[in-house]
Structure 1
Amino acid sequence: MHIYFIVHELFEGPGAFQTWAESKGHSTGYSRVYAGDKLPSSVEDIDLLIVLGGPQNPSTTIEEYSHFNAAAEIALIDKCIKAGKAVLGVCLGAQLIGEALGAKYEHSPEKEIGSFPITLTEEGAQNHKFLHFGDTSIVGHWHNDMPGLTEDCKVIAYSEGCPRQIVEYQNLVYGFQCHLEFNRELVELLIENSKAELSKCSGHRFVHQPEQLRNNDYMVMNNNLFIFLDKLLIDYAKTKSE
């Protein structure tokens, strides 16, 4: 399988997604837009598109971030969905998927930074891709916003601070507001690039400070992500063979 990443910032990289892809022998491609890479002109060779997070939101303009073109990324996501590809968006990526399907992103009730539990909804508990999560599981967070909801999507999981942590838009299309890809290396980069933000939010009930962020356990959430990704590609392979 060929996994293609849209990377908005060096400090919002693939993390555990990369570990999974390498361990499974999947080929990978990248548009590191922060480094000037262009988006792919064709989606024919893509099996799974993963759109990562960033400090932007779908309303961010090119004047604000010259390397981020929300309209172009939304068009790419739409193209992949219509071509029957598997698509997964994380944080900003999840919000862009919602936008591609006509659902406007919204501000989250709470800012969340750190590792906090998410709880499966009734629909989430019945979804075979998430059975291994258990009723609740600890995942990574680093956000202010959340993805919009379409009429036929399903909210798979929520947290105390945000009602839309995982959204199933279609069988092969998912938005993760949470960050299961976090590992120690990625979190260290985020800390380095977010010192002012973390200091400003000191004392916030859903914001961990650097020492706690460094001590959080990311292995369980990474393993949950790996199992989900395996199940997602199994479902994708089934659609290709039909």
Structure 2
Amino acid sequence: MKSVLAIRHVAFEDLGSFEAVFQHHGFDVTYVDACVEDLSAVDAAAPDLLVVLGGPIGVYEEDTYPFIRREVALLQARLERQLPTLGICLGAQLIARAMGARVYPGPAKEIGWKPLQLTEAGRHSAVAHLDGASTSMLHWHGDTFDLPEGATLLASTDLCAHQIFSVGAHVLAFQCHPEVLGDTLERWLVGHACELAANHIDVPELRADGLLFSRQLAQQGSLCLTQWLVQTGLVK
């Protein structure tokens, strides 16, 4: 059976709608909680697919959260072998750092729903399913990163130029959240309550937008992930 190992940073930021796609295609899904489990014991080459999920910390906070160093080392070992790797939000930032790119606070927090603007390369890739004409997208981040050397930019927004990038056929990294499920978004609203309050985010509006947009995003996100899995050779 094919395997997915998902590195998780907070319990409610999980694989979301992507998990159903993996189950449909016969993957065995396992989670590792980065902050409490020993990442140095994880075999970087063992899973067929490694997914690194989101979280509320910064990649540059390794002195405060030492496990970040082990996570970056794990990603470097994986990427050197050119093995299928998927990153979401913090996961994308960690991939960028593992590839030698700078990760740093962005010009402003980007929290809420807005459509993506695809590049020409993006329109000819799996992320074409996430074009703004097809779906809105959930954004929830304050940091950004330089585009890693050898990466292809696939999508942007007005506040964040580097929203999605790929590296060959084996890496896909999302600064945004194509995996979010409307049924579990309330966990995000509670779990990130302090951040939302500090940034004066209208929670009822964010909740309403989630109800409005999340079902379509789940459909388009599933199409995107499935096409990418075919391109990597993990799914026929």
Give the number of equivalent residue pairs.
Answer: 230
1:226 is aligned to: 222
Q: Normalising to structure 1: TM-score of the pair?
A: 0.86
How much does 1:41 deviate? Answer: 2.5
The 3-state SS of whatever aligns with 1:124 is helix
User: What letter matches 1:7 in structure 2?
Assistant: R
The 3-state SS of whatever aligns with 2:139 is strand
Matched-pair contact (CA < 8 Å) for 1:86–1:232: no
Task: Identify the residue that residue 16 of structure 1 maps to in structure 2.
Answer: 17
Letter in 1 for 2:68: A
Deviations 1:73-114 (A, max 9, x none): 111112222223211111111011011111111322231112
C-alpha contact (below 8 Å) 1:46/1:85 kept by paired residues: no
User: Matches of 1:5 and 1:95 in 2, distance apart?
Assistant: 15
1:213 aligns with 2:211: no
Alignment partner of 1:41 is 2:42: yes
Q: Following superposition of structure 1 onto structure 2, how do residues 162-241 of structure 1 map, counting pairs within 5 Å?
A: 162-202=160-200, 207=201, 209-215=202-208, 216=210, 217-237=213-233
Contact 1:91–1:146 at 8 Å: present in 2 too? no
Post-superposition shift, 1:210?
2.0
Note the C-alpha offset of 1:158: 0.6
C-alpha separation in 2, matches of 1:72 and 1:11: 22
Query: Hey, what does 1:110 align to over in structure 2?
Result: 108
Taking the aligned partners of 1:184 and 1:132, their CA distance within structure 2 comes to: 19
The 2-side partners of 1:234 and 1:106 are apart by 33
**Structure 1 position 135, deviation (Å):** 5.4
Code of the aligned partner of 2:205: Q
Structure 1 residue ranges without an equivalent (≥5)? none
* Contact 1:187 1:213 (C-alpha < 8 Å) held by counterparts: no
> 2 CA distance for matches of 1:237 and 1:122?
23
Classify the secondary structure of the residue corresponding to 2:115. strand
The change in CA–CA distance for 1:115 and 1:135 in structure 2 (over 3 A counts) is closer
Whether contact under 8 Å (2:164, 2:174) holds in the other structure is yes
| Offset from partner CA, 1:205-233 (integer Å, 9 cap, x none) | xx5x2222222221222222212221222
Separation in 1, partners of 2:141, 2:37: 25
Q: Secondary structure at the match of 2:180?
A: coil
2:96 to 95, 98, 121: 98
Cα 1:16–1:160, aligned 2, differ >3 Å: closer, same or farther?
Answer: same
Secondary structure of the corresponding residue to residue 179 of structure 2: coil
Per the alignment, residue 26 of structure 1 pairs with: 27
SS of aligned partner of 1:218: helix
Amino acid aligned to 2:30: G
Report if aligned partners of 2:9, 2:54 keep a CA contact under 8 Å in 1.
yes
Q: Which moved more, 1:16-25 or 1:178-187?
A: 16-25
Aligned to 1:145: 143
What is the alpha-carbon root mean square deviation over aligned residues?
A: 2.2
1:24-53 Cα shifts (integer Å, max 9, x gaps): 32111111124x223253134311111001
Q: Equivalent pairs: percent with the same residue?
A: 29
Query: Does 1:5 find its partner at 2:3?
Result: no
Aligned counterpart for 1:161 among listed residues 159, 162, 173: 159
